[in-house]
Amino acid sequence: MAGVALCEPRHLYNILNRRPRLAEPRRLCLLDARTQREYDESHIITARRIEQSPTGEYVVPDSEELWCVRYCVVYDCETSSLDCCDYEEEEEEKGSSAALKTENTDSSSVCSQNAEEGTAVQHARSLQQFTRHPVLVLRGGYKRFSACYHFLRTQKILWMPQELDNFQPYPVEILPAKLYMGSFKQACDQQIQKDLKIKAEVNISEEPATLFVEGGKYLHISIPDSLDADLFSSFATICHFIDTQLDHGAVLVFSSLGISRSSTVTMAYLMHSCQFSLKRAWDYVLECKPNMRPHRGFVKQLSDWEAQLYGTTLTDVSEPNY
């Protein structure tokens, strides 16, 4: 079996905003395990509710579709642990007066939460036999995800392929609600700035951009995306700027396409302020944005940055992965 794992809200957010677009059927199967009423009120964009048979049993989606899909994500109200079902069984076995008291007090919401959590976990475990990759259970469920990304909530159930193709992705989230990485087009979108609460921008493209937030901060490092371009000399300035601005709100790092220069700067920041090695920073950003690709000149500068920060080279950039 493929297994079951927890999925952080940031991970699902980034999956929804990756290319290829949402219309790619083999990329994401997002399943809502809440009640019909809750689903009808609002759900995560593109989510389908897990259907029930006339006898009340939950119906497994198309097994061939599940086998082909890269990400299968299940969510309910507010899941927090994969062990919730085991927790409930243990409480029943104990039959303790404390547990009985809990059921009859205002803390009954805790029991409801545990039961709700069990819904997503149980569905995930039943689906894992049909998937090649682990079935993901959204940590915190709909409640946490919608609190973080209210702009990805919807009541819409049926989506036409053209509508999904026209969906405008948001910048990927590097640090939850703090650091984002995107393209020039995204940086110039006032709605994106508003939704993500962007208070500062770091522009690593040659063109100037506009920060719409009143009183927001803006740093422009005009660098071409060429092999002889020097980003290394600006790493310290950029890292200091980001560190300073994160105390006031979210920061967006962007370049023309959000692939080479912005990912280079983002990794340099993670190495500087999160004590990541180059390899760890590379793997982390790659998970957020699989098509990120600094060119070889920037990879060499990141290696030099690592040596400057730690006094030695920790990552062998001659490996094909870099």
For 254-279, give the DSSP string.
EESSSSSHHHHHHHHHHHHHS---HH
Beta bridge partners of 2: none
Q: How distant, in Å, are the alpha carbons of 32, 48, 70, 129 from that of 66?
A: 15, 13, 8, 10
Using DSSP's 3-state secondary structure scheme, residue 82 falls into coil
Residue 22 confidence (pLDDT): 58
Measured between alpha carbons, how far is 284 from 216 in angstroms, rounded to an integer?
28
Residue 113 confidence (pLDDT): 44
Burial label for 120, CB within 10 Å (0-12, 13-18, 19+), is buried
Q: Which residues of the chain have pLDDT under 70?
A: 19-25, 56-58, 84-117
CATH 2.60.120.10 fits 172-310, yes or no: no
Pairing of strands 135-138, 4-7: parallel
Q: Determine how many CB atoms are found less than 10 A away from the CB of residue 63.
A: 12
Measured between alpha carbons, how far is 132 from 70 in angstroms, rounded to an integer?
8
| % of the chain residues with pLDDT over 70 | 86
Residue 20 confidence (pLDDT): 54
Burial label for 125, CB within 10 Å (0-12, 13-18, 19+), is middle
Residue 64 confidence (pLDDT): 74
Sorted by where each begins, the domain ranges of the chain are: 4-165, 172-310
Residue 264 confidence (pLDDT): 98
Please check whether residue 253 is in contact with residue 204, taking contact to mean a CB–CB distance below 8 angstroms.
yes
CATH superfamily placement of domain 4-165: Rhodanese-like domain (3.40.250.10)
Measured between alpha carbons, how far is 264 from 293 in angstroms, rounded to an integer?
8
pLDDT tens-digit map of 79-97: 888 875 443 433 344 443 3
pTM across the whole model: 0.85
Measured between alpha carbons, how far is 129 from 63 in angstroms, rounded to an integer?
9
- What is the phi/psi pair of residue 252, to 5°? -110, 125
Please check whether residue 285 is in contact with residue 217, taking contact to mean a CB–CB distance below 8 angstroms.
no
Contacts of 203-211 with CB under 8 Å at 24 or more apart are 203/254, 203/255, 204/231, 204/253, 204/254, 204/255, 204/261, 204/262, 204/264, 204/265, 205/254, 205/255, 205/256, 205/261, 206/256, 207/256, 209/184, 209/254
Q: Which tokens in the block code for residue 47?
A: 């989510």
Which 8-state DSSP code applies to residue 150? G
Contacts of 191-195 with CB under 8 Å at 24 or more apart are 193/252, 195/150, 195/151, 195/170
Which 8-state DSSP code applies to residue 178? T
Residue 57 confidence (pLDDT): 65
